[in-house]
Amino acid sequence: MVENEARLRPVLGVLAVFGAFAAAAALFVLPPRTVAIAACAAVALAVVSTWTQRRLRRSQHPTRWLVAEHLTGTTALAGLLVLTGGLESPLVGLMALATVMAGARFAGRTLWATTAVSGVLLFGGCLIANPRMLLDEPATVYLWIATLVGVTGIATILSHSERAARADAVLDVLTGLLNRKALSRRALELESQARVTGLPVSVVACDLDGFKAINDSAGHDAGDAALQDVAYAMRKALRGFDLIYRVGGDEFIVLLPGAEAPEAVELAERLRAAVDDLDGIAATVTLSLGVATQTDGTFLLSEITAQADEALYGAKRGGRNRVVVAGDDHALHLTA
């Protein structure tokens, strides 16, 4: 979801440019007061969007922020429909655009719930502008309802198909985590983002301690079960938008765009503690982790993972079940 959000940003930028041209043209058609209100609403939405993107990088529940941003924009559009004539407004086509945006951002029940609330807001705005709309133009109203429902249905199908196809290609079958192919794709995106934004990128390299002993003593089925338990525990310890990849038998990589070293270390410690708290077949394994951060506005996966791997080897040499930062000579966590 958050990955799609990054892809949507350039589209929203193009839409903003065309919106500016449309606003200039509207000066000759709409009252200046209406155009001024629309311009203020656009600026306010840009501020809300920027603030939301910053919150996304730190929130445990990024979907909630995206839903709030989407509904804020829909509410603003509903207000503009009230000011510009409801279904007769030149902005009415944006109702369908709002639905398409929801389809690109959300899935399943979140998509349908967001669309339902958006529909109520948009048609509420039209009813306020023209209270007799249902009586005077029933065919137009029903046509727009059918359009929004149809667009939502198509967006749901396309979104589900696209997610399913990508999942087949980039998910590890055993653990459900992203695989090395997905890591390569994401690395290319982060290289471009780092050049544009200049934000830091941190990587956490993880390796299980004592995993081979499970395979040797209890068999590979037990080892698979332990890996599944570990993967589940690690996913729960991560924030909703953090991405973890299985890159080897018992090796994992976590990418943290926008995270400075202290934040990455805190997350690595959560991962270590989550695995350390496991019971059952996975109770005998622990997790060693290496953390590396690039802060110079560049991101090279091979370079930063080499640094994280070196720190990971330091954690192994230091006694395992601990976090080491690249460049540090000591572990940040020492077991008793």
Residues 65-96 have pLDDT tens digits of 788 888 888 888 888 878 877 777 777 777 77
pLDDT of residue 331: 45
Residues 281-298 have pLDDT tens digits of 888 999 999 999 998 888
Low-confidence ranges of the chain (pLDDT < 50): 329-336
pLDDT of residue 91: 75
Compute how many other C-beta atoms are within 10 angstroms of the C-beta atom of residue 46: 12
In whole angstroms, how far apart are CA 87 and each of 70, 73, 91, 123, 140? Answer: 21, 18, 8, 9, 8
In the numeric block, the tokens 């990088």 are attached to 57
Q: Quote the percentage of the chain above a pLDDT of 70.
A: 85
Domain boundaries defined on the chain: 2-170, 180-325
pLDDT of residue 44: 74
Q: Return the CATH fold of 180-325.
A: Alpha-Beta Plaits (3.30.70)
Residue 59 burial by CB count (10 A; 0-12/13-18/19+): exposed, middle or buried? middle
Q: Name the DSSP letter for residue 278.
A: -
